[in-house]
Structure 1
Amino acid sequence: MEIQERYQVAIKFDEKQVTGKTVDYALWRFRPDVDETLENILKPLDMKVNKEKEGVYKLKDYEYYRWQPEDGWAELARLASKYNDKAGFEKRKAALIPCIMEALQLSPLPPKPNSKPIFTAVRKFDGYTVQNMALEVMPGVYLSGSLYRPSKMKGKIPLILSPDGHWLQQRYRKDCQIRCATLARMGAMAFSYDLFAWGESMLQFEYEDHRKSLSMAVQTLDAIRLLDYFLTRKDVDPERVGISGGSGAGSHTVLITAIDDRIKLSAPAVAISSYFYGGCPCESGLPIHLCGGGTNNVELAAFAAPKPQLLISDGGDWTAHTPLHDFPYLQNIYSYYGAKDKIENVHLPTESHDYGVNKRKALYDFVARNFSMNINAINEDKVSIETENDLKVFGDKGEKLPSNAMKGYAQLENYFKKLDDVK
């Protein structure tokens, strides 16, 4: 209360946040500037404030993953000073990737199950079909999703992996179905899949398990195993494999593209920022960002060069400054490869954190140009929205889940521990 009265500001907080918390010599930490005072007093408590507007603050726990924009930009400048040509950047990349795989506890990769994918019946719609699919990515751990394909296919077609982000209703959402169905109507195979302990993965794990560090390892392995499977199919063109996810799935998009050369195009949406490392342990719970003396998601996005990459950003989240610092950095890295035209940014300053219609249109245009797809087939009104149960692999209540399915985070931890012991 004294800070509010002395500086004539308002601080929003919940009584539970401050009950029982004290700071020694608090009055000696006061300074003429309210921002400096708040930092001095809150830092010992591992707390901070977000400045919502002039004179209004909101009390929050310390967020390791969210830096002040100026600090993030300074870090990006430090990283940029490490290389000034293609050879220097390739050396940096070669040093970081093994460290990242080690940090993810995926070096070496866990043994691949010999099981075949599980499919449901095909459902037919206007210009596309949908079929649910589950893949065993490690013994007893299943990844679920829905496969959208053109109604008529000839030869090898593009594949677009579509991981789901941290939005309600998971991959069952209307906007997620629209995006994947439209890509299928344009001529691609689009696979929409769950994050770990999200969607049907919650048949095996609790929602709280998604906020634990191994979620990052499992999600990474999910994408690797999907690529392993899809690139054995005769109808997939290995030179036209892309990935696009939004929010937390945008971080996932960047990471997979950075470590797996089989991805030929990427489009992270409302995700990538030099001052935001991912607010969920599935994005930053394992120490990949400590590799090479420190890295960030923008540098990892640069690992895609010279492959086509689209950053979709908006004015309502941590991507608000993308055109000012992050995108120019990426353009510079791409210029090392003579491919500055292959990195694009669609910035929507009046929009917020979602994968809305304008963001989807940016994706359609980008994929159509780079993968030679039918842009004239874009018509979101032609998409039929299915129910959540329609999109499930294992039945309305999980009654079809295989008998060997792992149950609970403790079993997952034990599995990774055994892998570590073998190493």
Structure 2
Amino acid sequence: MAVRPDKLLERWYNLTVPKYSFNAKAVSEWEMWRDNLKRVFINQLGGFPEEKVDLNPQIIEQEELRDHIRQRVAFATMEDLEILAYVLIPKNATGKLPAVIACHGHGYGSKDVVGLNFDGTEKTGDAGYGKNFGLELVKRGFLVVVPELLGFGDRTLEEDSLKPYKGENSCYKISTNLLLLGKTIAGIRVYETIRTIDYLLTRNDVDADRIGCMGISGGGLVCAFTSAIDERIKVSVVSCYLNTFKDSIMAVRHCIDNYIPGILQYAELPDIVGMIAPRPLLIEAGIYDHIFPIHGTRTAFEKLEAIYDLLGAREKLDKDFFEGGHQISGQKAYDWFIKWL
């Protein structure tokens, strides 16, 4: 008797052949594959607004620190929605700088990436799984922008305003409301990151041709998906996210913000990340990461290798599979940006 649904789920996955699973044999086929998948992917994310609202950026805080200036900025991303972001500027910098968008993961938001506790005090001791990677980037001469992703930190729902102190978020309610409206929280976060690039291009201290993106965990999703869609991102580092849907998102309990309705009809996760090619891409993965198992990461990385090989760009793809769990490594990541930006 098949009273439990295990075999049913397995069979349905095996019978689902993604329409845009990568199998191109020529560059012309790759171009058609990428363009078609990008269009469908944006649609599955819930689509983006047809018209962009004015950003109307404002600096709401500024503090001069030992080796950098830390600004907090606000700007509009769509009608009735503004985003907060930290901007870290290297001290004594001159001219136009390379910039990196740093996407935080689950936790208390953007403050975690810039060396702050949620109450705004400076962190001491354990840097957390994000390892203050925004600070590591600004130390190396990059202008860093850290958007507060929707549902975290100061961008939770009003009813959840105290939750970030406990590392909690508003992902569930925002996601379920958006799903009923044919939208996804992943789509909103990706669109707001695209608007963050628009914001960077309004600054006279940013080189428009040298913009990168780095993200960890849920921020790795945002980094990977935005980089796949927006080619203004020239270099990417995706940390503790690359896998297959089958081996991670479908196999391990994840936040609801990882689920995109119907996506497997069109692509597996490495197909989506593969749209970043042939731009430089580094994949970080802890071999003991329990929510993004390393065997799934290895399977996904093999597909990325096939895409980059076809395009003659294998030197622009690298990996850092490190001894550790669900955390930033940094062993190659910061040098990766120095090399390519």
TM-score w.r.t. the length of structure 1 is 0.65
Q: How far is 1:171 from its partner?
A: 2.3
Q: In 1, distance between residues paired with 2:271 and 2:137?
A: 28
The answer for the alignment partner of 1:53 in structure 2 is none
- Contact 2:243-2:298 within 8 A present in 1 as well: no
Q: In 2, distance between residues paired with 1:203 and 1:215?
A: 13
Q: In 2, distance between residues paired with 1:205 and 1:135?
A: 23
SS in 1 for 2:56: coil
The answer for the alignment partner of 1:140 in structure 2 is 80
The answer for the alignment partner of 2:110 in structure 1 is 171
Q: In 2, distance between residues paired with 1:135 and 1:177?
A: 27
Q: What RMSD over aligned residues (CA atoms) do the two structures have, in Å?
A: 2.7
- 21, 30, 38: which one aligns with 1:79: 21
- Contact 2:87-2:143 within 8 A present in 1 as well: yes
Is 1:300 the counterpart of 2:272? The answer is yes
The answer for the alignment partner of 2:167 in structure 1 is none
- Contact 1:149-1:185 within 8 A present in 2 as well: no
1:15-414 equivalences under 5 Å are 29=1, 40-43=2-5, 79-80=21-22, 82-107=23-48, 109-166=49-106, 168-173=107-112, 174=115, 175=127, 176=130, 178-202=132-156, 204=158, 206=160, 207=170, 208-212=172-176, 213=179, 214-274=184-244, 275=246, 276-277=248-249, 279-287=254-262, 289-290=263-264, 293-315=265-287, 316-317=289-290, 318-321=292-295, 324-348=298-322, 350-355=323-328, 359-371=329-341
Q: In 2, distance between residues paired with 1:201 and 1:319?
A: 30
Q: In 2, distance between residues paired with 1:119 and 1:113?
A: 18
Letter in 2 for 1:221: Y
- Contact 1:267-1:311 within 8 A present in 2 as well: yes
- Contact 1:323-1:345 within 8 A present in 2 as well: no
| C-alpha distance 367-202 of structure 1, shift in aligned 2 (>3 A) | same
Alignment length (residue pairs): 300
Q: How far is 1:294 from its partner?
A: 2.2
Which 4+ stretches in 1 moved above 6 angstroms?
none
- Contact 1:323-1:347 within 8 A present in 2 as well: no
Q: In 2, distance between residues paired with 1:137 and 1:180?
A: 22
Letter in 2 for 1:335: D
Unaligned runs of 5+ in 2: 116-126, 161-169
SS in 2 for 1:326: helix
SS in 2 for 1:271: coil
Q: In 2, distance between residues paired with 1:264 and 1:205?
A: 38
| C-alpha distance 111-323 of structure 1, shift in aligned 2 (>3 A) | closer
Identity %: 20
- Contact 2:42-2:187 within 8 A present in 1 as well: no
| C-alpha distance 165-75 of structure 1, shift in aligned 2 (>3 A) | farther
| C-alpha distance 354-205 of structure 1, shift in aligned 2 (>3 A) | farther
Letter in 1 for 2:270: V
| C-alpha distance 319-126 of structure 1, shift in aligned 2 (>3 A) | farther
Letter in 1 for 2:74: A
Q: How far is 1:323 from its partner?
A: 6.3
The answer for the alignment partner of 2:165 in structure 1 is none
Q: How far is 1:360 from its partner?
A: 2.5
Q: How far is 1:199 from its partner?
A: 1.0
Unaligned runs of 5+ in 1: 1-28, 30-39, 50-61, 372-423
Q: In 1, distance between residues paired with 2:159 and 2:243?
A: 30
